Amino acid sequence: MAKRAEFAGMDLLTAFGGEESSRKEISVGDIQPNPEQPRIFGREEVSDLTESMRRLGLIEPIVVRRAGKKFQIVAGERRYQAAKILGWKSIAAVETDASEDRCYEMALAENEKRKSLNPWEVGRAIQYLRKEKKKTAEEVAKLLGYTERYVKQLSSIARLDQKSVGDLLRSGREASVKNLETLLKKKEGRGGETISPRKVPDRVILDLKSLPSKTKDLFLRDLSTLKKKYGIR
């Protein structure tokens, strides 16, 4: 089976088993962003997309779900933001009747497919699914096409607070798994600890004179082996 994270926006509906209506134009004023959107950083950075949509129009419709009299975005918030900047009155959309929880999974998969989330954002989303929605690491791994080990690794990174991650990005460093794990260890006081100098043991003197010759030879042979193995002098 193909990984759900590999599906494009419209294909998310098929991948997640949701029903969809036909593509239609929805008033931009009737659409609202998802407050639980997995993406935290760069949500408003749409200048590149705005220029593309100005020249080429909307290539891929956004995905929405009905929320009262409005529509809530499931996938395509940056396209929606770009449409607002361009002054569009309406935007092409596909409506899904998937549940709120399912839509969150779809939004996470869509963002991850586009590689628009950094590992910390993915980790936060994983934590949300595991703690709030009671998903297992195995279920989340299948959703994103990851190994369970990687899911747990990202989940641990999410212990970092948003300010710390923001400071990392503002410093010009990449929010990579390696950098985030290093930052987490520093914040939690792990890693890079100074190892206490080894205490020099007192000298031990053994009197082997009373031992039978054979026993003494065996002991000295074993002692020699141990000294080589553990670097004892």
- Please report whether residue 215 resides in a domain: no
Same domain, 17 and 93: yes
- Please report whether residue 79 resides in a domain: yes
Q: Kindly report whether the global pTM for this prediction surpasses the value 0.85.
A: no
The neighbouring-strand residues paired with 90 are: 27
> Which residue range(s) make up the domain with 52?
12-97
**Number of domains, the chain:** 2
DSSP string, 17-54: T--B---EEEEGGGEE--TT-S--TTTT--HHHHHHHH
Cα angle for residues 56, 58, 64 (degrees, 5° grid)? 170
Same domain, 29 and 75: yes
At 47-103, the pLDDT tens digits run 888 998 999 899 889 989 898 899 999 888 889 999 999 999 999 999 888 888 888
Residue 217 has pLDDT above 70, yes or no: yes
Confidence tier at 203 by pLDDT (50, 70, 90): low
Name the DSSP letter for residue 82.
H
The two three-digit tokens of residue 47, written as one number: 């200048």
Report helix, strand or coil for 206.
Answer: coil
